[in-house]
Structure 1
Amino acid sequence: MDQIPPLGLPFMKMHGLGNDFVVIDARAGRNPVTAALARALGDRHCGVGFDQLAVIETDPQADARLTFYNADGSLSAACGNATRCIARHLIDTTGKTHLRLRTERGILLAEEAGGGLTRVNMGAPMLRWDEIPLSAVMETLHLPIAGDPVATGMGNPHCTFFVADAEAVDLAARGPEIEHHPLFPARTNVEFVQVLGRDSIRLRIWERGTGVTLASGSCSCAAAVAAARRGLTDRRVTVHVDGGVLEIDWREDGVWMTGPTAHVFDGVLTPAFLAGP
């Protein structure tokens, strides 16, 4: 950090279905987050702990600009549940019911969905090999990997496997193996999907740069798109993740995700922590 705030750095702790985030509002000044600070904050023993860290900044053409970091300090262009959490915060604090939020994915639309739920359009899925990206030209609906997975881009790469029993998958073993597969030059998120019906799937997640997580918005969107492309489900499905339930609706204008959010607490990072060891 160029300058350590003399009174510390305020943050919010939020989660969407157990997919948890540290959120730093930098709209009043410059973005204070570095990869090193993100890694230190992501440590669940010596920091705060999170699946992703999000920074809110001002944007001249949107209600806010969002930047996302994984727990290993790497950047992520998309984070669906964090986008919903921040959208809920902005809806509650501004009174607006419709928002435009800029991410590396582009400008995403968010809206009040009623009943305490928040809806975000995560944009159109990326279905070409070079958009995801993959390391070579190939058909993304059937990858040459054992298990016959599907590749999808949602601003970040995804590899989706369809299995008979999602509960039986050893995420800790399979996740890192696939995350670092040479077909994915930028690494990949990994999803294991059990189809429950035309309108429902069970999903378990290994998140790139983080590991096993209770939920993921972009992973839920990618899994729903993959299932629909394979003809296993309709384009609107209920997604059952370890942390709860999301509704995914793949429409002509993008993949809409609806679900609950939680603002757990506010805190302040001390100058001593920010100074590092």
Structure 2
Amino acid sequence: MSLSFHKMHANGDDFVIVDLRNSSNPITNVLARRMGDRNLGIGFNQLAVMLKCDDAAAQVLFWNADGSPLEVCGSATRGVAARLMGESNKASVVLRTERGLHTCERTATGAITVSMGEPHCGWSDIPLARDLDTTVLPLEGMPAACSMGNPHCTYFVDDLAALDIASIGPGIETHALFPLKTNVHFVQIINRRQIRLRIWERGGGIPQGSGSCACGAVVNGIRRGLLDECVEVACDGGNVTVQWTGAGQVLLTGPVEATFSGTFTHS
């Protein structure tokens, strides 16, 4: 069987889109892992599968490269929105994910803004293994935690360059405090409207960027009183903007680009 796909990236955070609105969905954890293999498959940080939907332009399901599912991906959601806007010649579109409905709009500069949903900050919603104050966790470095549909743990540090993310990240991702594992952020605050972010991604390693991680990092920074309501987030691959008033929807704005299209053959 063959699957047509489109490879895209958002500031180097690469993802693959498969449009199954007019066909059945063959994607399983095993197939997603095969497709995500950078040596034997297509290679991606996330896979986004578009399905037919009655109350939105499409329902979108997501997988990490290791085959594990996730509720939402900010980068791939922007990519799906960009494709559907181009298809319909409209400047906005509504998508459905496991988090609910997301309004997506193209800005005057060509970037895509996505309403990413409300963050969840209760210990059981993230989830944590026990009832704790999620603004200051009892771990070395005193990180904060929240959920954007996937768990996020944010450390605020003085010098990102001094950290070995590849060595530190896996132990935090799999810490017993996070029963579903967690994305891990390391944030250096430039000022109240600018941060530098590096990421250890749950199920993915070190990406060039991540939309949901940028959102989670800013939400945790605002909750700690360190950041304003609109923050420019500089990741390894480029910048996005995150807006949150302290309540309601988080807005994520950033660019997406097409890389190539092809066909993946599987048995």
Coarse TM-score class (shorter-chain normalised): over 0.9
Where does residue 256 of structure 1 map in the other structure?
251
1:209 counterpart SS class = coil
Q: Does 1:55 align with 2:42?
A: no
Following TM superposition, where does structure 1 have runs of at least 4 consecutive aligned residues deviating by more than 3 angstroms?
none
* Alignment of structure 1 residues 202-213 onto 2, 5 Å: 202-213=196-207
Secondary structure, aligned partner of 1:213: coil
Aligned mates of 1:167, 1:248 — CA distance in 2: 23
1:75-100 Cα offsets, whole Å, 9 max, x none, are: 00010010011101111111122221
Offset at 1:101?
0.7
Deviation string 1:90-126 (CA, Å, 9 cap, x unpaired) is 1111112222111111111111112111000101111
Deviation digits for residues 162-183 of structure 1 (CA, Å, limit 9, x no counterpart): 0001122111111110000111
Question: Contact between 1:78 and 1:105, CA under 8 Å: does it hold in 2?
Answer: yes
- The residue aligned with 2:192 is 198
Paired position in structure 2 for 1:175:
169
2:152 aligned to 158, 163, 166, which one? Answer: 158
User: Per the alignment, in what secondary structure is the counterpart of residue 208 of structure 1?
Assistant: coil
TM-score (norm 1): 0.94
Taking structure 2 as the reference length, what is the TM-score of the superposition?
A: 0.98
Residue in 2 aligned with 1:91?
A: 85
Aligned to 2:239: 245
Q: CA deviation at 1:141?
A: 0.2
Give a deviation string over 1:113-140, Cα, whole Å, max 9, x none: 1211100010111111011111101100
Gaps of 5+ in 2: none
Offset of residue 50 of structure 1: 0.3
Who is 2:38 aligned against? 44
Match of 1:9 in 2: 3
Q: CA offset at residue 253 of structure 1?
A: 3.4
Cα contact 1:162–1:194 (8 A) shared by 2: yes
Equivalent residue number for residue 103 of structure 1: 97
* 1:26/1:32 contact within 8 Å kept: no
Tell me if 1:231 matches 2:218: no
Counterpart Cα distance in 1 of 2:108 and 2:182: 33
Q: Which amino acid aligns with 1:48?
A: I
CA distance in 2, matches of 1:187, 1:253: 25
User: Residue 265 of structure 1 aligns with which residue?
Assistant: 260
Report matched runs for 1:123-138 at 5 Å.
Answer: 123-138=117-132
Aligned length: 266
Output one character per residue of 1:39-75: Cα deviation in whole Å (capped at 9) or x when no partner.
Answer: 1111111111000011001110111100000011000
- How high is the sequence identity, in percent, across the aligned residues? 48
Which amino acid counterpart does residue 98 of structure 2 have in structure 1?
A: E
